[in-house]
Structure 1
Amino acid sequence: MHVTLYRKYRPKTFEEVAGESDIIKTLKNSLDNNKLSHAYLFSGPRGVGKTTSARLIAKGVNCLNNGISSTPCNHCENCQEIDKGSFIDLIEIDAASNRGIDEIRELKDKINYRPSKGRKKIYIIDEVHMLTKEAFNALLKTLEEPPEHVIFILATTEPDKILPTIISRCQRYDFKTLSYKEVSEKLSDICEKENIKIDNGSLELIYEASGGSMRDSISILERVIIANLNQDIIESKTSEILGVTSKETLREFYDIIKSKSLKNGVEFLEKLWIDSIDIEKYFKDFAKYIKDEVISQRISVEEGLKIIGGVYDSLNKFKYEEDKRLLGHVVLNNIIKLSEKSKETEIVYKEVVVSPKENIDENSKTEKEILISIDEVKNKWNDILKAAKDEKPTYKAFLSDAFPLKIEDNTLYIAFRENEFSKESMESDYYNLPFQEIVQQITKSKLKTAYIFKKEIKEKSKDNMTKNLVSYLEGLN
């Protein structure tokens, strides 16, 4: 009979549990020093070890050879029956399907009977938050004064739905999703024991698909193994099986963006289209990949924000476009233009100031940033607005109500007369950083940009602003 990998490799000792080292250490100390609570609450996402830890406590309490210990023998009758799920003194209740007061009353009726084979009866109530209010109240009375031969272990994915009075009577442990390192080590160990070769790219894809759940990770691994019988597991095949975008493909597209080759980019997108890959989903995966690269410091924050902003700016603007292949070309063009703009603004504008009494040599040169006045900025304001509109059409609407007010500490303060929403939008990195670069490029300075709201300043009429907004909206149609 086939045994699923998750059941086959379910931890039989605390040492085999992946992650949650602090929780495991505390539970082991409790067993080794016989300082067990009468009730535990294990909360956390699915598949992270809550029920497994509960069963290990049951083994640690009822092992015939080693006594109450964090290292049960795994060979005695009690240990083996607990592993098989047939131990009479281990009662597991699924609250999702047994959520009423009748089930809890039945539990209360049987709870006073002493264990048949073990030292203690262990009650594991899974998804305990699913119990009805009446059932909770009945359980509360049981938890207040349980018999000494009983241990309750409540497991839940939604602890906020449990009555505070229940929580206060339990020793609570909050389990978390597992890290990539913890999951990949477990999956690699399973593959080694199953004589299967798997690459790191596949492990990353499985982890991403599992959401940090060990149970889901092993289930996904088994699915991938079945699809690759008698073959090595490689990233490209795994991504195809799981229907996700491989990191290799995302890296390849990022290299094209860096090379600024529209031709290669179009050919790459055409291949995705031929392979029936969802272009819109691909770009969302690409934005997530860039975010991960920024977090890992392999891409600068500025570059990452430009690319992510360019992707979503295009996707939102053309979200009703039916031709997704065309949408892909628009996104490609947008982010390559942003990448080129970023390179252009890396130029540092400096002037050399030389003392008239000294000879011109390397030691006599000092560098000084070019200073600029508010009047010079005002003279170039229309050029700045035009360049901004060409960069992002939304700037036309946001800046229709704005004007350069003053320069202090190398910061250009831009005032908004009435539209506070526009001010708040411009303050976001998504809009501010590209606009700041435009200001720096046109003014040949290193000015930073900041925004203030000036209600008291006389403004252009609301009619002018309305006309600008209408003009912008019409331009989008």
Structure 2
Amino acid sequence: MYIMSTVLYRKYRAQNFDELVGQDHITKILKNAVKSNQLSHAFLLVGSRGTGKTSTARILAKAVNCLKPKKDGNPCNKCDVCLSISNGNFMDMIEIDAASNRGIDQIRELKEKIEFAPSKGRFKIYIIDEVHMLTTEAFNALLKTLEEPPEHVIFILATTDVHKLPATILSRCQRYDFRLGTEEEIRGTLEDILSKEKLKVDNKGLDIIVRNARGSYRDALSLLDVVVNSQLRSEDAKKITEDEVRAVLGVPEVYMVNDLLSALLDGDSKKALSCIKELEMKGTNLVQFINFTLEVLREVLVAKISGKDIKEYSFSKGLQLRDLLSLIKDFLSVERDLRNSTNQILILQMLIPAYSKGESVEKKSTDTNIVKSSVRKNTTIVEGKSESVEVVNTDVIDLDITQVEKNWEKIAQGVKPLNTHLFAFLGASKPVTLEKNELCIEVPFKFYKDQIDTPVSRDIIGKVIFDVLGTHCRLKCIVNESVKPKLQSSADVVLKNVPVIKKKEKVEEEKKTFAPRKVKADVEAIFAGM
């Protein structure tokens, strides 16, 4: 069997700035700084794992201490300093793992030693990896030293979680953000290493490694290392097949994803249950299976949007975009639930009833927010003209107004647990027309319309309509002009209608004539319109 002497990511670690892949925006600046001798006293390297932060720190340590630096700012990699740093025995480069040396005592010890001049190089380099793991006290102890270190000291801090660093640390460092590698860059790196190692991997097998690396160069090389050192099926020890890559990395077969998704979309509960049972019998890692399924669904989504067709995935033939989005949302939900579940197979089996045609399953949102809205009295005089406002807008299926009318009470009941006031408004409304997927509802008063037109109310109604009718539609709300609104009650209206009091003489004359007064008419006149 083919055996490697050193793991690939260490054997092929970048030794100069030009060998760093995908970080040209950083290496260009660092090379210019080295050439012009305009070096900062503190560098902060930020990025995901396996993107080259530690390699860059070591290359920078070489470049600033190199005895024969190149004109472009790269180290020579031939002098004693460069060789010592490459071998890890250069006394003036101190690497500190902040995850295990995170306390204030370690920082105090560092501050005591920092005053000593470098023994061999021009600069003493302190590389603090995973610096975000330091305690608050340790950060505070480091602040002054980081702000004004001795001239012979350069700090290089590296972290994957920059948001955990205090602002006082960030302001004292030059920050460089490392980006994840693209699939083309990682594939190119792997192909270059494979050619040097005189190995061959099937193109599809290489695609699997690249996809599982998720932008990390180190992860890609580690996965390749595992595959090379764990060959199971190849007759030629230096030729790696797609099946071997799948077997070693635990990546499920494409047919398993096709079969399960096809069964779910067809509403075939028995076949879907059989597919999940097969996963269980083979001991498939369900987290990996769900991740692979989501990757497949992403490829299909991109293909659908681009107007292409992927023949490899049979379930995607004739698949509507709405159904595809529903699948993606459900599998994302499964992915979240798997992390905290001790019965992972059950989480996956719970998908089956949701797609079964033999049963009616009402989906309920798990992230419903109870919306509390304050009720205010309507003192607005309603105008005679009706107004209309468009509310919700998303995807389409053909509906008939009779379907909406039959389910309107159900829609109102679905709104009730989310917003009782909105439920009351919908109870007094009715669907009028449905044209081009635009639902028009009629309300008796403008106040009702104003409440329904709020963004919160639109979101609630849209969600319930989707749950009940299986589609989103644009919503238009109008006021019924035939309903006569009541005028606003105010002191001005009352005073305006108070009858003029007659003079005393006229009142006495009326008493003599014994004419009965119309008390009822006067009262009605005072409170007219209330």
Q: Say whether the fold is shared (TM-score over 0.5).
A: yes
Match of 1:234 in 2: 241
**After superposition, where does 1:97-176 map in structure 2 within 5 Å?**
97-176=100-179
Q: In the alignment, is residue 450 of structure 1 matched against residue 488 of structure 2?
A: no
Match of 2:94 in 1: 91
Quick one: which of 75, 79, 82 aligns to 1:76?
Answer: 79
**Measured at CA, do residues 145 and 233 of structure 1 come closer, stay the same or move farther in structure 2, by a change above 3 Å?**
same
**Measured at CA, do residues 278 and 134 of structure 1 come closer, stay the same or move farther in structure 2, by a change above 3 Å?**
closer
In structure 1, C-alpha distance between the alignment counterparts of 2:165 and 2:438, rounded to whole Å: 52
**Measured at CA, do residues 231 and 382 of structure 1 come closer, stay the same or move farther in structure 2, by a change above 3 Å?**
farther
Two-structure CA RMSD over aligned residues (Å) = 4.5
Matched residue type, 1:224 = V
In structure 1, C-alpha distance between the alignment counterparts of 2:286 and 2:163, rounded to whole Å: 39
1:208-247 residue CA offsets vs partner (Å, 9 max, x unmatched): 4444222222222211211117153333332332223345
Quick one: which of 415, 435, 440 aligns to 1:413?
Answer: 440
The alpha carbon displacement at 1:154 in A equals 0.8
**Measured at CA, do residues 329 and 103 of structure 1 come closer, stay the same or move farther in structure 2, by a change above 3 Å?**
closer
**Measured at CA, do residues 207 and 397 of structure 1 come closer, stay the same or move farther in structure 2, by a change above 3 Å?**
farther
In structure 2, C-alpha distance between the alignment counterparts of 1:53 and 1:232, rounded to whole Å: 33
**After superposition, where does 1:259-278 map in structure 2 within 5 Å?**
272=279, 274-277=281-284
Assess if the C-alpha contact under 8 Å between 1:415 and 1:453 holds in 2.
yes
Match of 1:302 in 2: 322
The alpha carbon displacement at 1:57 in A equals 0.5
In structure 1, C-alpha distance between the alignment counterparts of 2:69 and 2:14, rounded to whole Å: 18
In structure 2, C-alpha distance between the alignment counterparts of 1:378 and 1:87, rounded to whole Å: 79
Assess if the C-alpha contact under 8 Å between 1:34 and 1:68 holds in 2.
no
In structure 2, C-alpha distance between the alignment counterparts of 1:237 and 1:140, rounded to whole Å: 52
Match of 1:404 in 2: 431
Q: In the alignment, is residue 427 of structure 1 matched against residue 462 of structure 2?
A: yes
Structure 2 residue matching 1:86: 3-state secondary structure: coil
Assess if the C-alpha contact under 8 Å between 2:201 and 2:239 holds in 1.
yes
Quick one: which of 18, 21, 24 aligns to 1:18?
Answer: 21
**Measured at CA, do residues 237 and 148 of structure 1 come closer, stay the same or move farther in structure 2, by a change above 3 Å?**
same
Assess if the C-alpha contact under 8 Å between 1:60 and 1:69 holds in 2.
no
Assess if the C-alpha contact under 8 Å between 1:48 and 1:177 holds in 2.
yes
Unaligned runs of at least 5 residues, structure 1: 338-375, 390-394, 438-447, 459-477
1:157-213 residue CA offsets vs partner (Å, 9 max, x unmatched): 222222212211111112233222222222222222222222343334334444422
Match of 1:444 in 2: none
Matched residue type, 1:133 = T
Structure 2 residue matching 1:181: 3-state secondary structure: helix
Structure 2 residue matching 1:169: 3-state secondary structure: coil
Identity over aligned pairs, percent? 38
The alpha carbon displacement at 1:131 in A equals 2.0
User: Which stretch of structure 1 is more off in the superposition, 278-287 or 181-190?
Assistant: 278-287
Structure 2 residue matching 1:118: 3-state secondary structure: coil
Assess if the C-alpha contact under 8 Å between 1:279 and 1:328 holds in 2.
no
Matched residue type, 1:140 = L
Assess if the C-alpha contact under 8 Å between 1:11 and 1:17 holds in 2.
yes
The alpha carbon displacement at 1:410 in A equals 6.0
Assess if the C-alpha contact under 8 Å between 1:423 and 1:452 holds in 2.
no
User: Which stretch of structure 1 is more off in the superposition, 294-303 or 152-161?
Assistant: 294-303
Match of 1:34 in 2: 37
The alpha carbon displacement at 1:85 in A equals 1.0
**Measured at CA, do residues 145 and 311 of structure 1 come closer, stay the same or move farther in structure 2, by a change above 3 Å?**
closer
Give the TM-score of the pair, scaled to structure 1: 0.68
In structure 2, C-alpha distance between the alignment counterparts of 1:313 and 1:110, rounded to whole Å: 52
1:379-401 residue CA offsets vs partner (Å, 9 max, x unmatched): 44466789xx9xxxxx8964896
Count of residue correspondences: 399
Assess if the C-alpha contact under 8 Å between 2:256 and 2:275 holds in 1.
no
Give the TM-score of the pair, scaled to structure 2: 0.62
**Measured at CA, do residues 311 and 128 of structure 1 come closer, stay the same or move farther in structure 2, by a change above 3 Å?**
closer
In structure 1, C-alpha distance between the alignment counterparts of 2:107 and 2:268, rounded to whole Å: 67
Matched residue type, 1:223 = V
**After superposition, where does 1:52-63 map in structure 2 within 5 Å?**
52-63=55-66
Q: In the alignment, is residue 290 of structure 1 matched against residue 317 of structure 2?
A: no
**After superposition, where does 1:356-371 map in structure 2 within 5 Å?**
none
**After superposition, where does 1:345-360 map in structure 2 within 5 Å?**
none
Assess if the C-alpha contact under 8 Å between 1:39 and 1:153 holds in 2.
yes
The alpha carbon displacement at 1:287 in A equals 4.1
The alpha carbon displacement at 1:18 in A equals 1.9
In structure 1, C-alpha distance between the alignment counterparts of 2:57 and 2:189, rounded to whole Å: 20
User: Which stretch of structure 1 is more off in the superposition, 290-299 or 160-169?
Assistant: 290-299
Matched residue type, 1:431 = F
Structure 1 residue matching 2:120: 3-state secondary structure: coil
Match of 2:10 in 1: 7
The alpha carbon displacement at 1:289 in A equals 2.0
The alpha carbon displacement at 1:116 in A equals 1.8
**Measured at CA, do residues 430 and 140 of structure 1 come closer, stay the same or move farther in structure 2, by a change above 3 Å?**
farther
Matched residue type, 1:305 = L
Structure 1 residue matching 2:239: 3-state secondary structure: coil
Matched residue type, 1:40 = F
In structure 1, C-alpha distance between the alignment counterparts of 2:90 and 2:456, rounded to whole Å: 64
Structure 2 residue matching 1:450: 3-state secondary structure: strand
1:422-441 residue CA offsets vs partner (Å, 9 max, x unmatched): 9635635993797349xxxx
In structure 2, C-alpha distance between the alignment counterparts of 1:316 and 1:38, rounded to whole Å: 43
Q: In the alignment, is residue 220 of structure 1 matched against residue 228 of structure 2?
A: no
User: Which stretch of structure 1 is more off in the superposition, 111-120 or 45-54?
Assistant: 111-120
The alpha carbon displacement at 1:75 in A equals 1.6
Unaligned runs of at least 5 residues, structure 2: 310-319, 361-398, 417-422, 484-530
In structure 2, C-alpha distance between the alignment counterparts of 1:135 and 1:184, rounded to whole Å: 41
Structure of higher CA gyration radius = 2
Assess if the C-alpha contact under 8 Å between 1:305 and 1:430 holds in 2.
no
Matched residue type, 1:218 = L
Structure 2 residue matching 1:148: 3-state secondary structure: coil
Q: Which has the higher helix share?
A: 1
In structure 1, C-alpha distance between the alignment counterparts of 2:11 and 2:357, rounded to whole Å: 50
**Measured at CA, do residues 132 and 251 of structure 1 come closer, stay the same or move farther in structure 2, by a change above 3 Å?**
same
Structure 1 residue matching 2:155: 3-state secondary structure: strand
